[in-house]
Amino acid sequence: MSAASEAETRFEREDTRRRWLLSTPALLIILVAAVGPLLVVLLYSFLAPGSYGDVRWQFSSDAWFNVFLERDIFDDTLAPAWAHLSIFWRSMKLAFITTLLTLVFGFPTAYFIATRDERTREIWLFLITIPFWTNLLIRTFALQEVIRQEGLLNTLLLKLGLISQPIPMLFTDFAIGLGMTYVYLPLMVLPLYASMERIDFRIVEAGYDLYASRFGVLRRIIVPLVKPGIIAGSILVFIPSLGAYVTPRVLGGGKSMMLGNLIELQFGQGRNWPLGAALSIALMAIVMIALLFYVRNASRGGPTHG
Amino acid sequence: MQWKQTVLGLGLALAGSTGLAHAEGELNIYNWGNYTSAELIKKFEDTYKVKVTITDYDSNDTALAKVRQGGHGFDIVVPSGASLPAWINDGLLLETRPDQMENFKNMDPQWVDVPFDPGRHYTVPWQWGTTGMTVNSSVYKGDPNTSAIFLDPPAELVGKINVLPELTDIMPLAIMYFGGEQCTSDKELLRKVRDKLVEAKPKWASIDYGNVEKYAKGDAAAGTNYNGASFRARLLNKDIVYGYPKEGYPVWMDNVAVLKDAKNVENAKLFQNFIMDPQNAAMISAFARYANGIKGSEQYLPEDMKTAPEINVPAEFKAAGKFNVTCPAEAQALYTRIWTEIQK
Amino acid sequence: MARSFSVRAQPGFTTVALICFFLLYLPIATLVVYAFNAGTSIAIWEGFSLRWFHQAWNNSQVIDASIRSVQIATAAAILATICATMAALATTRTRAYRGLTAKYAFINAPLMVPEIVTAVALLIVFSRVKIATGYSGLGYLILAHTAFCIPFAYLPIRARLEAMDLSLETAAADLYATRWQAFRRVTLPLLWPGILAGLMLAFVISLDDVVITEFVKSGGQDTLPTYMLGQLRRVVTPEMNAISTVFLAISILIVTVFFFISRKRDV
């Protein structure tokens, strides 16, 4: 081994050590106050439910069995747990649509902010987050007031003569879409902004010389440049919205369950903590695998490892 | 005078280390959110020179889970009657014998021998209410006193019904609709209940809490609701009426109990006695807008509550009311499955 | 050029952005209006009054909860952002090293766990600690909030870092800048928009948390969201609107001050 490569190895080792040191505080806090305690939940998923909530210290695999399979309440036949699957599917769909909607509305908004002059940029950024200083429930109730039958939007449209009858909006899919976009928009806009803010517009200018069309420039230059932001934003919207149920309930009427209330039900009135634990661990595993897969694919070819 | 100070200092230090110092002037109340009258607390603080801290919870299950784990620091908790057996069985409550307290004479006799605390050895009533039907009489002119409102809705109410997102309110209503007993695990009956709920669900508008605006502003024209919420809705929209399902409806009662690991037991007992005073009980009702269980408090109630049919159950509907109970685990498991299935 | 061709403009983007801002503030406007309602409803107008501001002002529980919420959110957001910045520096712009993917997954793990599950797990663990140590202060809430805020701060900062190359820092190193100098003078200013975005996200996420707080809080530690949660089942009064309005007023004040400071700095 040459001296040069030896020095390089030493440098690399040193670098890795420093990188571990730098990430220690974050890893430690998450270990203590998020992931570590989850081991308790993992343990609980293998116990029997207590008769008034909590668990009985007795091994049982019922919870895991019931995540995937169920015996019919009435004729005892064994079948896949369709109820769980359909609730899971509904939440996935909602999270996907929410991510798409926040991207469609958040991208132009972030772009708008990033292209303001340097002085006002941070002000616009603040303006995006200020509505979120108010409580989620209060905000959702306010949104209800905007879209209800006798609400602000209908009254406005009626007064302007644009419609002759109030449009029913509350308790529709439109309401859920609107509400979810509303609630999750900053989670998309802020990461997008973070990666857009430093777009070098000389590259964009050069792009116009080559592609000429605005859409071409957007697709071939801007989007690839802000890809890390798109990835980060999508993760921050998709995963939390998987567990959302307050907005679908208050605005959509909540006639169908979401994953969030299915799991909460087991820890509350359902008094089946082991099932709640097993359901959430299953969910976590699926999301984790999907995330790693997504990040690996999405960042391929991108400027990830500079 | 030096020795006096030393003794005092020592005494204080000792008291501090054993936790006795708390008993002088603190009380930690763990109650449902938005349920405690600030006026009442102020009066208690002034009367007994005690500093009261209020902490909120949102469900019996949360409160039970937290107290069970310990390390919470609460003295008083206010669980619903239905969940009290769990608290008592787990040995979480202190037997303070309210039945021997001075103000017990004010207790309404009908609330003394309650199934969840016979003879009132542990608890004192806080507020009680019913789960029934809220109906907008300008939309539906028929009889509101039936669970058919949400299970077999009349044509004019279809698509305008709100159902509470609480399995422990809806299952008893549906079971009693078919003549069953709460907590039944009779599969034939439960099959009927499930089929009926599945059939009725498409006719509902929403499964959500029945907040006042929902009825007053016409998002919903009928639905299952708590009596106090229905009462508030009527104050904003006079067409709102409250129905007591004749097939049977749940009655719930929240009760003040002292925790076994309370640090301020004496103050907690004082509080139990304090709220059995009619004037004080009326303060709770004036704020929370539900009935209390104390005789003679009626005269101190706000005018609008004195005769409200939502708060004072009319005699002909009294018999149909059944105390909400916590069902055995097996029955509860069936109910959770049904509840999940209708919303899948 | 008569009409300058702006390389920055994209057709329709400004319109969409302005619509977004309008829609974001529309419900906020109704919320503020009903804070001044004389009636008890958050949606039925019964005349103008300041009664809810009075009531909130005299309700020590709600004032304490507001202050506590801001304290926790500030502490948690700052801690989370510092940790996340360090972690992002450690996990980007490097060749793959052993444990890198695992680290990435671990840092994002708090995102993936349904809130109620973290809440129950923390309840079980923290109550043991509370009994053992006798300490039941705000530390538990700040720690729990910091943990779930880290991924919200980490992802935007990381996104920013990924798009930055190392050439400037290398240049600084070539000029004999120490590691800290290079970070302070080169990396940090470049990274700032990402850090700011992360900090703001962490702050609002912490400010809005309800389930974990509900399970971790000790006696007398209600925050605004847990206080609000109790109203859901009973009745929601404009008191909450009044508080939100005060919050909005304060935040707008902060923005204004910020605006003038940044102007001065530039002049």
Q: Which residues 6+ apart lie within 8 Å of B186 measured at CB?
A: B180
pLDDT tens per residue, range C106-148: 999 999 888 899 999 999 999 999 999 999 999 999 999 999 9
Residues A28 and A85 in one domain: no
| Whether C204 and A186 lie within 8 Å, measured CB to CB | yes
Residue A243 Cα distances to A146, A258, C108, angstroms: 25, 7, 15
B274 touches B211 (CB < 8 A): no
The CATH number of residue B134's host domain is 3.40.190.10
Dihedral sign from CA coordinates of B225, C116, A188, C145:
positive
Distance of alpha carbon B150 from alpha carbon C24, whole angstroms: 36
Question: Residue C265: its pLDDT value, please?
Answer: 59
pLDDT tens per residue, range B92-126: 999 999 999 999 999 999 999 999 999 999 999 99
Question: Residue A211: its pLDDT value, please?
Answer: 67
Residues B331 and B208 in one domain: yes
C226 touches C218 (CB < 8 A): no
Q: Which residues 6+ apart lie within 8 Å of C89 measured at CB?
A: A22, C161, C187
The pair of structure tokens assigned to C157 is 């900062």
| Whether C126 and B232 lie within 8 Å, measured CB to CB | no
Tell me the residues of chain C between 156 and 215 that have a Cβ less than 8 Å away from chain A. 156-160, 162-166, 190, 193-194, 196-198, 200-201, 203-204, 207-208, 210
Residues B15 and B72 in one domain: yes
Which chain A residue is nearest to residue B87, measuring alpha carbons?
A52
| Whether A269 and B326 lie within 8 Å, measured CB to CB | no
Pairing of strands B161-163, B206-207: parallel
Mean pLDDT (chain C) is 88
Residue A234 Cα distances to A193, B123, C104, C159, angstroms: 13, 51, 16, 12
Distance of alpha carbon C31 from alpha carbon A149, whole angstroms: 18
C222 touches B56 (CB < 8 A): yes
| Whether C39 and B62 lie within 8 Å, measured CB to CB | no
Residues A22 and A99 in one domain: no
Mean pLDDT (chain B) is 91
Residues A119 and A245 in one domain: yes
Residues A17 and A155 in one domain: no
| Whether B61 and A73 lie within 8 Å, measured CB to CB | no
End-to-end, the C-alpha distance of chain C in Å comes to 30
| Whether B71 and C131 lie within 8 Å, measured CB to CB | yes
Please tell me the distance in Å from B58's CA to the nearest CA on chain C: 5
The pair of structure tokens assigned to B66 is 């937290």
For residues A9, A10, A14, A17, the Cα torsion angle rounded to the nearest 10 degrees is: 60
Please tell me the distance in Å from B284's CA to the nearest CA on chain A: 25
E-only strand ranges, chain B: 26-32, 51-57, 76-77, 113-114, 117-118, 124-136, 161-163, 206-207, 222-226, 240-243, 249-258, 321-323
Q: What residue ranges of chain C are covered by domains with CATH 1.10.3720.10?
A: 62-236
Query: Is the pLDDT assigned to residue C100 strictly greater than 80?
Result: yes
Does residue B113 sit in helix, strand or coil? strand
DSSP-assigned letters across all residues of chain C: --S---SS--TTHHHHHHHHHHHHHHHHHHHHHHHTBSSS-SSS---B--HHHHHHHH-HHHHHHHHHHHHHHHHHHHHHHHHHHHHHHHHSSS---TTHHHHHHHHHHHHHS-HHHHHHHHHHHHHHHHHHH---STHHHHHHHHHHHHHHHHHHHHHHHHTS-SHHHHHHHHTT--HHHHIIIIIHHHHHHHHHHHHHHHHHHHHH--HHHHHH--TT---HHHHHHHHHHS---THHHHHHHHHHHHHHHHHHHHHHHHHHHH-
- In a domain? residue A29: yes
Chain-centre distance of CA C73, in angstroms? Answer: 7
Residues B155 and B65 in one domain: no
Residues B146 and B115 in one domain: no
Q: Give the total number of structural domains in chain B.
A: 2
Distance of alpha carbon C63 from alpha carbon C246, whole angstroms: 11
The pair of structure tokens assigned to A305 is 């490892």
Inter-axis angle of helices C188-208 and C224-233, nearest 10: 30
Per the DSSP assignment, residues forming a β-bridge with B206 are B162
pLDDT tens per residue, range B87-98: 999 999 999 999
Phi, psi of A296 (to 5 degrees): -60, -45
| Whether A201 and C157 lie within 8 Å, measured CB to CB | no
For residues A129, A132, A133, A134, the Cα torsion angle rounded to the nearest 10 degrees is: 150
Question: Residue B211: its pLDDT value, please?
Answer: 80
Dihedral sign from CA coordinates of C243, C248, C251, C252:
negative
Which chain B residue is nearest to residue A168, measuring alpha carbons?
B219
| Whether A255 and B83 lie within 8 Å, measured CB to CB | no
Q: Cα angle at B215 between B209 and B217, to 5 degrees? A: 120
The CATH number of residue A182's host domain is 1.10.3720.10
Distance of alpha carbon B194 from alpha carbon C165, whole angstroms: 62
Please tell me the distance in Å from B336's CA to the nearest CA on chain A: 5
| Whether A150 and B218 lie within 8 Å, measured CB to CB | yes
Chain C interface disruption, residue of A13, A16, A17, A29, most C CBs within 10 A: A29
pLDDT tens per residue, range A131-174: 988 888 888 989 998 998 888 889 889 999 889 999 999 999 99
DSSP-assigned letters across all residues of B24-43: HHEEEEEEETT-S-HHHHHH
- CA-closest candidate to residue A232, choices A304, A131, A130: A304
Please tell me the distance in Å from A24's CA to the nearest CA on chain B: 30
| Whether B56 and C59 lie within 8 Å, measured CB to CB | no
Distance of alpha carbon A116 from alpha carbon B255, whole angstroms: 59
Residues A169 and A28 in one domain: no
The pair of structure tokens assigned to C128 is 């043991």
Helix (H) or strand (E) holding A248: helix A246-252
Residues A134 and A248 in one domain: yes
Residues B18 and B153 in one domain: no
Residue A122 Cα distances to B92, B148, C176, C200, C258, angstroms: 53, 57, 33, 11, 9
Residues B143 and B265 in one domain: no
E-only strand ranges, A69-127: 69-71, 78-80
Q: Which residues of chain A fall below pLDDT 70?
A: 1-3, 211-212, 299-306
Distance of alpha carbon C83 from alpha carbon C78, whole angstroms: 9
Could you say which of B55, B56, B232 has the minimum Cβ distance to residue C235?
Answer: B232
Domain holding A106, by residue range, is 81-271
Q: Which chains touch A (3 or more CB pairs under 8 A)?
A: B, C
Distance of alpha carbon A187 from alpha carbon A109, whole angstroms: 12
Is B34 at the interface with chain C, CB within 8 A? Answer: yes
Could you say which of A74, A82, A257 has the minimum Cβ distance to residue B191?
Answer: A74
| Whether B217 and C123 lie within 8 Å, measured CB to CB | no
Chain-centre distance of CA B233, in angstroms? Answer: 19
- CA-closest candidate to residue C74, choices C195, C207, C194, C198: C207
Domain holding B191, by residue range, is 129-251+313-342
Amino acid at position C19, single letter: I
Does residue A214 sit in helix, strand or coil? helix
More confident residue, B249 or C230: B249
Distance of alpha carbon C135 from alpha carbon C129, whole angstroms: 8
Residues A202 and A93 in one domain: yes
Residues A121 and A203 in one domain: yes
- In a domain? residue A287: no
Does residue A93 sit in helix, strand or coil? helix
Q: Give the total number of structural domains in chain A.
A: 2
Question: Residue A101: its pLDDT value, please?
Answer: 97
Q: Is the CATH code 1.10.3720.10 the one for domain C62-236?
A: yes
Q: Which residues 6+ apart lie within 8 Å of A90 measured at CB?
A: A256, A257, A258
Residues A11 and A96 in one domain: no
- CA-closest candidate to residue C224, choices C75, C76, C64: C64
Could you say which of A19, A112, A121 has the minimum Cβ distance to residue C13?
Answer: A112
Residues B86 and B169 in one domain: no
pLDDT tens per residue, range B17-54: 333 334 468 999 999 998 999 999 999 999 999 999 99
pLDDT tens per residue, range B167-196: 999 999 999 999 999 999 999 999 999 999
DSSP B298: G
Q: How many helices (H) and strands (E) does chain B have?
A: 15, 12
Question: Residue B24: its pLDDT value, please?
Answer: 61
- Interface size between A and C, measured as CB pairs under 8 A: 339
Could you say which of A133, A182, A288 has the minimum Cβ distance to residue C251?
Answer: A133
DSSP A201: H
Per the DSSP assignment, residues forming a β-bridge with A56 are A48
Residues A226 and A95 in one domain: yes
DSSP-assigned letters across all residues of B245-295: -TT-EEEEEEEEEEBTT-S-HHHHHHHHHHTTSHHHHHHHHHHH-SB-SBT
Query: Is the pLDDT assigned to residue C171 strictly greater than 90?
Result: no
Distance of alpha carbon B180 from alpha carbon B327, whole angstroms: 14
- In a domain? residue A117: yes
Per the DSSP assignment, residues forming a β-bridge with C11 are none
Pairing of strands B76-77, B240-243: unpaired
CB pairs under 8 A, 24+ apart, for B89-93? B89/A52, B90/A52, B91/B260, B92/B64, B92/B67, B92/B68, B92/B259, B92/B260, B93/B122, B93/B123, B93/B257, B93/B258, B93/B259, B93/B260
Phi, psi of A78 (to 5 degrees): -95, 135
Residues B84 and B146 in one domain: no
Inter-axis angle of helices A259-267 and C115-133, nearest 10: 40
Chain-centre distance of CA B194, in angstroms? Answer: 27
Confidence at C44, pLDDT banded by 50, 70, 90: confident
Question: Residue C232: its pLDDT value, please?
Answer: 75
Distance of alpha carbon A191 from alpha carbon A233, whole angstroms: 6
Residues of A in contact with B334 (CB under 8 A): 73
Distance of alpha carbon A261 from alpha carbon B287, whole angstroms: 30
Question: Residue C180: its pLDDT value, please?
Answer: 85
Residues B208 and B321 in one domain: yes
Q: Which residues 6+ apart lie within 8 Å of C109 measured at CB?
A: A30, A34, A35, A284, A288, C151
Helix (H) or strand (E) holding B61: helix B60-69
pLDDT tens per residue, range B242-288: 999 999 999 999 999 999 999 999 999 999 999 999 999 999 999 99
Residues of B in contact with C211 (CB under 8 A): none
Question: Residue B210: its pLDDT value, please?
Answer: 80
Question: Residue C259: its pLDDT value, please?
Answer: 76
DSSP A53: B
Mean pLDDT for B132-145 is: 96
Residue C88 Cα distances to A33, A90, A159, C93, C117, angstroms: 20, 33, 52, 9, 26
Question: Residue C5: its pLDDT value, please?
Answer: 66
Distance of alpha carbon A67 from alpha carbon A45, whole angstroms: 11
Question: Residue A91: its pLDDT value, please?
Answer: 94
